[in-house]
Chains A and B, each alone.
Chain A
Amino acid sequence: MDKVVQSSEQAKAPSIEKSHETPEGWEPNILAFACHYCAFAAADLAGVMRLSYSPNVKIIRLPCTGKLDQIYVLRAFEKGIDGVFVAG
């Protein structure tokens, strides 16, 4: 998508997070948007292969990563998710 928008304003806003304390017992909460036909299938395969991986990742299946909307990602962050990745 267009890169134009993020130019000048970025510098002014408090763009870099202040380093802050991490409360005890905090675990990263991560959301993965996965394409049904590639990444979701890969995740499925990882399961079938009995691979163990980080339990912090919650997967949301999309019919295609093209279904992803900016607002989905923003809503996730708004609800306090710590990281989002899109896989397709």
Chain B
Amino acid sequence: MITGEQKPFEEIWNMVKDFKKVLVFGCNTCVAICHAGGSKEAEILASLLRMRAAQEGAAIEINHAAVERHCEPEFFQPGMDNVRTYDLILSTACGVGVNLLSEHIGDIPVFPAINTEFFGAVPRSGEFTELCAGCGNCILHLTGGICPIARCSKSLLNGPCGGTNNGSCEVSPDIKCAWVQIYDRLKQLNRLDLMNEIVDAKDWSKAQGPRNFKVKLLEEIKK
């Protein structure tokens, strides 16, 4: 799932202070799970902005709304007439949502209220960690299900570097060395032979944007 954290309040306030009618637009999928941009967070942010506006003597009308997803037009399309009555949309969706809404909304600006970070797992409620980098060329079958691209600071493909330090990474003792984890996991799976397999230089062209794809089956059905 996509994770993100709300921007500092001052930054958000500086974005909205010169507008007259602002909609704080939440997204109830990924960013709601990480308590950054769901309907609840949108409502709280709208309330805080109204309080700030009252104190600054700024006459801004600030409302909030939320839809289930900002990354598919069909979710926000039905309410667009209402959304278009505002002169600024402050989106608490991820960057994908901000981009897509901008494309559909016409001449109204859409600003981001959160910093979109990574796609992460939720090992415990309220904790988020990056386990996959979406590099477009998966080698998890060779590494015991532990991704060295996302979880090794250097994204090394063939074993640890000299900075591995009693199971931790030299970058921070809080980061576990991905290659130590891979070794342990392969040992557990009785597949240490995979450690000897050399992974060729990676084709990074698949890891960089702009990326897109179409589902072939659906394309054929359309024909």
Contact = CB atoms under 8 A, between A and B. Distances in A.
Q: Is chain B found bound to chain A in the same assembly?
A: yes
Interface of A: 2, 5, 8-9, 12-13, 70-71, 74-75, 77-78
Tell me if B's interface is mostly helix, strand, loop or mixed: helix
Interface of B: 6, 8-10, 40, 43-44, 47-48, 50-51, 54, 126
B126 A74 contact: no
A74 B10 CA distance: 18
20 contacts: A2-B126, A5-B6, A8-B8, A9-B8, A9-B9, A12-B8, A13-B9, A13-B10, A70-B44, A71-B40, A71-B44, A71-B47, A74-B44, A74-B47, A74-B48, A75-B47, A77-B51, A78-B47, A78-B50, A78-B54
Majority DSSP secondary structure for residues of A touching B: helix
Given A8-B8, A13-B10, A74-B44, 9 more contacts: A5-B6, A12-B8, A12-B10, A70-B44, A71-B44, A74-B48, A77-B51, A78-B47, A78-B50
Contacts of A8: 8
B176 to A, nearest CB: 22
A77 B44 CA distance: 12
Contacts of B8: 8-9, 12
Given A2-B126, A78-B50, A78-B51, A9 B44 contact: no
